[in-house]
Amino acid sequence: MAQPVPFLEDFDAVLPGAGTGWLDRLRADAQEAFRKSGLPTPRIEAWKYTNLRRLARTGFVAAEANQTTEVTTVPEGIVALEDAYVAVFVNGRFAPSLSSLDGLSEGVEATSLAAKFSAGPTSLEGQFSDVTDLPMATLNTGLLSDGLYLKLDDGVALDKPLHLVSIGTAGEEPVSFHPRHLIVAGAGSVATIVESHVGSGAYFSNSVSEVSVGDGAVLNHYKLQNEGPEAYHLAANLVRIAERAVYDNFVLQVGGSLARNEIRSELGERVECRLNGAYLACGEQHIDNTTFIDHAAPNSSSREVYKGVLDENARGVFQGKILVRQDSQKTDGHQLNKTLLLSPGTEIDTKPELEIYADDVKCSHGATTGELEEELLFYLRARGIDPQTARGMLVAAYVGEALDEIQAEAPRAAFQAVVDDWLESRSERQG
């Protein structure tokens, strides 16, 4: 007898836009593919270091079938942005009452995917990428229902950041949801998108974000993963960056029980792509950052700096691949992963990978792992600074170097505040 398929078994909710031919087929094909593949196991190279066994055993119920918990306020822990458009999603469903999207200028469309499906699903036909080689994203396609739809017309500049807030919430029963976000930045447009992922209870957020950066556009995209301590967070980000565009991405992961953020970026010609991040983990947390930079055209540059701090029994994973295709001459690609291990129970698996087929390129990668330097600690202590404060200063400085990569000032300060909070709670735990 066949094993029950997680997430698809007993799923009988009617999804938005059901009855539309292409959408039904898209979902059915994806469901079929996921039935065949199942959850990825460590036997698959890409999932070698992140094991979903515990997730598979949890017995999540689809959020669609479990609407018992209500959220009336946005919880703490999100990126503190003074002035932003806010799109809030609760268990993957757009929550208009918590959102504020008023005053968006002409040429900006920000709405929910479900609303788009209801209004007339034909407009979205062909907009969803083929993700068959990503099992979790395939599951997401199979249950495609809601998410952020953001479209910037050519030449439009968003006057303040758009803040996507995802709130996960579960009562007694663990719930799962699969949001799909579509972000289309037209040619020459300029925007900053900030994501905050927070929540409480045992929930599983399995999101896919598709980002298209048009010719000459500048898109800043910063994400905070600050999920609740029992949460699972798997996110796939598919980013296409067209000619002369600039994409500045930063991911700060501090929350969740098990979290993986995967970015696949495809670079056009003369693109500047920046994928940076930081991860801070303690307890039994498992945090994975997996990136793939595809230099698909010549004369582009990519820069990648990921820095992590692991404490107690936390485990980190960094997998970073850079592919430079044969015609992608004059590629400039640099990658660095550094992890600070604060206690003997921690573990980091880091796998940098360069695959280069062009001959006129500048590429480098590096990975370091280490403890706080005794010499630096002694210097601070020799000036009267107690060991706990001294360690805190050195850890903050370590992470600060990654945060410096964030190009937009206000988000950088807000992310810094999250790091400061983490460090403070760490020293309280120890104090």
Nearest-approach distance from CB 402 to other proteins, in angstroms: 10
Instruction: Count the neighbouring beta carbons within 10 Å of the beta carbon of residue 44.
Output: 12
Nearest-approach distance from CB 56 to other proteins, in angstroms: 40
Q: What is the phi/psi pair of residue 18, to 5°?
A: -60, 140
Give one DSSP letter per residue of 95-111, joined into a string.
-GGG-B-TTPPTTEEEE
Q: Are 350 and 318 in contact (CB under 8 A)?
A: yes
CA distance 307 to 411: 18
Distant-in-sequence, close-in-space partners of 308: CB < 8 Å, separation ≥ 6: 278, 279, 280, 281, 287, 316, 318, 337, 338, 339, 340, 348
Q: Are 417 and 292 in contact (CB under 8 A)?
A: no
Nearest-approach distance from CB 338 to other proteins, in angstroms: 12
* Angle, helix 387-403 to helix 374-381, in steps of 10 degrees: 120
Distant-in-sequence, close-in-space partners of 59: CB < 8 Å, separation ≥ 6: 174
Token pair in block for residue 91: 């268990």
303 vs 351, beta carbon nearer other proteins: 303
Nearest-approach distance from CB 23 to other proteins, in angstroms: 49
If we measure between CA atoms, which residue out of 108, 137, 113 comes closest to residue 123? 113
Nearest-approach distance from CB 400 to other proteins, in angstroms: 4
Alpha-carbon torsion (268, 225, 14, 10), positive or negative: positive
Instruction: Give the interface with other proteins as residue ranges (CB under 8 A).
Output: 374-376, 378-387, 389-390, 393-394, 396-398, 400-401
Nearest-approach distance from CB 285 to other proteins, in angstroms: 24
Token pair in block for residue 297: 């055209």
Nearest-approach distance from CB 404 to other proteins, in angstroms: 8
8 vs 393, beta carbon nearer other proteins: 393
Q: Three-class SS of residue 255?
A: coil
Instruction: Count the helices and strands in the chain (H runs, E runs).
Output: 7, 21
Token pair in block for residue 9: 């078994």
22 vs 398, beta carbon nearer other proteins: 398
Nearest-approach distance from CB 334 to other proteins, in angstroms: 18
Nearest-approach distance from CB 335 to other proteins, in angstroms: 19
5 vs 385, beta carbon nearer other proteins: 385
Q: What is the CA 186 to chain-centroid distance, rounded? A: 22
67 vs 389, beta carbon nearer other proteins: 389
243 vs 405, beta carbon nearer other proteins: 405
Unique residue bearing structure tokens 């040429």: 107
Nearest-approach distance from CB 416 to other proteins, in angstroms: 12
**For the chain, how many residues are written?**
431
End-to-end CA distance of the chain: 54
